[in-house]
Chain A
Amino acid sequence: MKIMKQNFEILINGKHHQVDVDPDMPLLWVVRDIIGLKGTKYGCGKAACGACTLHIDGDAVRSCSYPVKLVKDKEVTTIEGLSTGDSLHPVQEAWIDLVVPQCGYCQPGFMMTAAALLAKNNAPTDEDIDNSISNICRCGTHFRIRKAIHKASSILNSKSVTNDS
């Protein structure tokens, strides 16, 4: 079967990229293999494990099941674009402080999901976290992840107070 490629302009981490690909190519492969941003990981390919999570217009999306043709006029953020300038995102700070990762493979997906959660709920309860974070970690880091999200929430809110004062 001949694949009909199309040209797409996609906005990733604030930069525009032109890609010439099969419209049904998962966004994950465009991000990793065409653009070369390797932070977003392939896990299951079924939108089940969350390793491939990135943001589209601020919402967490599993990029292994998201065709590139749907990303037109949308803003994509990967783990590489989570921090701004020299400042780490509160989620990154918390992850480092609490040494959350073990093998680390799934962690970008967790961090992107956590950041999407905190963007809409800056003080999540344990229940909020459990409901939002359905990613899978074979190392079993979920307890540290929950602590780290609470810590990221504290960092986020303290920065918010500092900025307000």
Chain B
Amino acid sequence: MKSKYIILFIVLMCFCTISFTYTDSSSGDEAYEKVMSVITHKRCMNCHPQGDHPFQGEDSHKHYFGVQRGPENHGVAGLKCSTCHSHENNLTSGVPGAPHWDLAPKSMGWVGLEKHEIASKILNRETNGGKSLDEIVHHLTQDSLVLWAWNPGININGKEREKPPLSLEEFRKAVHDWADAGAPIPKK
């Protein structure tokens, strides 16, 4: 009788472990999809080019005025990002702004990549500026330029810019869930 209980206990433990592992992986994948739905949005992608020009607008056209990346990712000598973009959105002219408005480094260029390639770059210390997973979570959920995506202001025609598909709270939760699950990168 006693051995029956032991076997039942072992079976139950195995079931729970398998079930937990499955749920964890599944939730990690789900969180990954949510995170990537924001990261691949134009509000993020426009300033994560692989080349030397940023993009702009809802149609992600090449930035007007021949704007260049420059040696430090914030423009060239006479035409820095700060020539037009200040620390906040300008609701009169429609020029967007946020603290440290600049381009992501070239190693973090995402335009044209698949989701799993972008995620790999985000997690790779050689491309992400040496960030740990905790630092990545902090950047994604706290950085003032990242947060601008949820306060993108209006364009020059007075029309509100499109926001990412998740609310900031949903995005933050998804980032934490993804990280807590070990930041899995599902194959395509």
Contacts and interface: CB of A to CB of B under 8 A. Distances in A.
A is bound by B: yes
Given A26-B92, A46-B156, A70-B87, A59 B66 contact: no
Interface stretch (A9-17, A33-41, A81-89, A112-120): A112-120
B93 A116 contact: no
A132 B90 contact: no
Nearest to B52: A131
A130 interface: yes
A93 interface: no
Interface string A42-74: 000111100001000001111011110010000
A133 B83 CA distance: 11
B64 interface: yes
B164 interface: no
Interface residues of B, number: 23
A132 B86 contact: no
B64 A48 contact: yes
A6 B2 CA distance: 82
Contacts of A114: 78
Interface string A126-137: 001011111000
A7 interface: no
Given A60-B83, A61-B83, A134-B67, A113 B78 contact: yes
Contact of B79 (A24, A66, A132): A132
Nearest to B87: A70
B77 A120 contact: yes
Contact of B76 (A24, A26, A48, A128): A128
Contact of B86 (A66, A113, A121, A128): A66
A65 B90 CA distance: 6
